Chains A and B, each alone.
Chain A
Amino acid sequence: MNLAIQPVLLPLLTAVALLFWGRPSPGRRAFTAISAGAQLVVAGFLIHLTYTQPPLVMPMGNWAAPYGIVVVADLLAAIMLGLSSFTALATILYGYCEASPRIEHPLRLPLVQFLVTGINLAFLTGDLFNLFVAFEVMLIASYALLTLEADNWDVKQAFPYLAINLVGSTLFLCGAGFAYRLFGTLNFADIALRARAMSDDPRVTALALLLLVVFGLKAGVFPLYCWLPNSYPILPAPVAGLYSGMLTKVGVYVLLRVLGTVLPHDLAGVHTLLAWLAGATMIFGVLGAISRNFIRGILSYHILSQIGFMVLAIGLFTPFAFAACIFYIIHHIIVKSSLFLVGGTAALLNRTDNLDRMGNLWRQTPLLGVLFLLQALSLAGLPPLSGFWGKYAILVVGLEQREFVLVGLAILASILTLFSMLKIWNAAFWGSSEECEVCVWDWRWLRMSRVVAGMVAVSLAIGLGAEGVFRVANRAAVQVLDQEAYARAVFSVTAKGTPAGP
């Protein structure tokens, strides 16, 4: 059971060790890479364990639920841990290729590890207040990373991120207080058992709506996404890869967890609202992407558009839709991170990522072009790449439920995604002009592309082995929606304190 806490403990201890280590050096980098690799191995082992077994539960401080705080690793949490460890490892390696230790910022690696600590705790926690703590750890590390290598202009762009997330945290605290008033407990399993009897209570709906606002804000759902598209482009490429992959997906994961495992399943109004907000997110996100003229800006808006697909799947609320959502998360995290990294490499080669001044990349660096094309077409959803299967599954559920307008919006968003990806392709890769120099002599791009190629290989494997991945996602979805099994796993752990289970 102690394995469940390792994904939090390992990055935390790594971060503290890095704080003591001081100046960046090759040894420090190797240590971080080994630690990140170990985290990936632990996460892989957790996936292996939870695929066949009930959730792993660890009572913190040996106090039993519901009074003690528990850490619960079920299959969905393990999958998310695997994704976060993989993205962290890839972006850390990419960062090594991008800059020599001499000019690396000494605090970047410790802060990345603190960020991973917060993200992993958010995936593992089985308690609403502890989730708040995890969000705070994650957000504070992300505020620091956002402004670490920033100039005055960047700090101005980062401010909305800080301000809106502070409001979100305050609302989350209100929501946690409200939940405690309503159920007398903050433990997920205990709330699930108590909420079932009061599912026609309007206060439960009110709580669900409040939590929807909080997590929708973290995920970047329609009216609440204004903090994202301007703040992500100011990040250095490796950190942007990690942010774009993981941070908003924590919000999506929590929506899955709260709507699937914690709150009663018959909140039809909330689910419908979520589905329509998702439709709006898809369209407005992709329109924003079309309006932008630099790679990082386009990709930042695409995060929102893709979040719309995932949230639409949650809003449709069937086990198959949940499985589609989980598949889509798996696909999206890897594709989106690697696209940001490709964008960073392209910007390095052209010395700008303004599409007006880019060009000639396909002729000089076909490898990078292939990597971009694979991921961009996957994002747009062309078969047999991974994005196609995720979108296909979501659209099938939508058609089954006769949500033709939403399905139409999703297809429209996909076409517009393809359009904006072609915009990058035409300007930066295909376009040719005399004055665009491609700095191929800058040897860093080759190593950076190798790291990205590793991510693209994983992404291709997901697309080609979609059936296997879907089977895992399906099992995770069934497990998320099975509130009894979750509660049984949590309350079967014997520890100090009075057992208060069923």
Chain B
Amino acid sequence: MMGPQSYIFERLVRVVFFLVNMVALYLLLRGHNWPGGGFIAGLASASSLILLSLALGVAAMPRILRFDPVRLAAAGLLVAALTGAAPLLAGRPFLEHFHTHLHGVPLLGDVHVGTPLLFDLGVYLLVVGIACKLIFVLAQSTQGLRALVAEEERRYSSPLEQPLEETAGPDDGKERTDAD
């Protein structure tokens, strides 16, 4: 169901994928005091994955990713929530963050590290997961593919539900009339 495959586009995307992710990493790391941060880095990474899905076909993405983007998002939410909740164990307020300066790190020199980076990492994972999932599901449904692969269907749908594509697929032809 894919359009004509372009060799040039595919080769190019394989390079651009790494470039975009390096920019994303840069945005993630500088985000504490400058423009950037987990959200924008997550969007950048998600766009790299979406480019990949355009080049290789969205049906190939579950095989390439080997994980469910929703799980990635849930992991991100867990990381962010736990980073916020960890200070509670020490009797400190929710979401308190701590910083330290490291001197004489090899290759980098003086580094300022802090727990906000962990929180940002959580946001990053959340945004990557959700943005990818949204675009993949929309792309799959417009191409007549099943919106959820078998493993996801087991996890995110009830046996009482009809699969979406059996009633709303583009090849279905007949409109289901609403029972008023």
Residues of A in contact with B (beta carbons under 8 Å apart): 1-2, 5, 9, 12-13, 16, 19-20, 22-23, 58-62, 71, 102-107, 149, 152-153, 156, 495
Contacts and interface: CB of A to CB of B under 8 A. Distances in A.
A118 to B, nearest CB: 14
Contacts of A104: 158
A107 B73 CA distance: 14
A105 B161 CA distance: 9
Given A103-B158, A103-B159, A16 B74 contact: yes
Given A103-B160, A495-B93, A20 B155 contact: no
B81 interface: yes
A71 B94 CA distance: 10
A136 B85 CA distance: 21
6 contacts: A9-B94, A22-B155, A23-B155, A60-B94, A105-B158, A107-B156
B99 interface: no
Contacts of B96: 61-62
Nearest to B151: A22
A159 B67 CA distance: 32
B94 A106 contact: no
A149 B160 CA distance: 9
A293 to B, nearest CB: 15
A67 B112 CA distance: 24
A2 B88 contact: yes
B107 interface: no
A372 B94 CA distance: 43
Contact of A13 (B85, B92, B156, B160): B85
A60 B158 contact: no
Contacts of B88: 2, 5, 9
A2 B94 contact: yes
B157 A106 contact: yes
A351 B97 CA distance: 55
Interface string B133-159: 000000000000000000000111111
B150 to A, nearest CB: 13
Interface residues of A, dominant DSSP? helix
B61 interface: no
B176 A9 contact: no
Nearest to A61: B95
A20 B81 contact: no
Nearest to B98: A62
Nearest to B116: A61
A152 B160 contact: no
Given A16-B81, A20-B78, A60-B94, 12 more contacts: A2-B88, A2-B91, A2-B93, A9-B85, A12-B77, A22-B154, A23-B154, A60-B95, A105-B161, A149-B158, A152-B167, A153-B178
B171 interface: no
Contacts of B70: 19
A103 B178 CA distance: 24
A495 B97 CA distance: 13
Given A19-B74, A20-B71, A102-B159, A61 B93 contact: yes
B176 A16 contact: no
A266 B39 CA distance: 43
A243 B132 CA distance: 30
Nearest to B162: A151
Closest 10 CB pairs between A and B? A105-B158, A19-B74, A61-B95, A62-B96, A5-B94, A62-B93, A153-B178, A16-B78, A60-B95, A22-B155
A153 B180 contact: yes
B2 interface: no
Nearest to B82: A13
Nearest to B70: A19
A102 B155 CA distance: 12
A379 B94 CA distance: 40
B93 A60 contact: yes
Contacts of A5: 88, 94
Of listed A5, A61, A104, residue having the most chain B CB within 10 A: A61
B108 interface: no
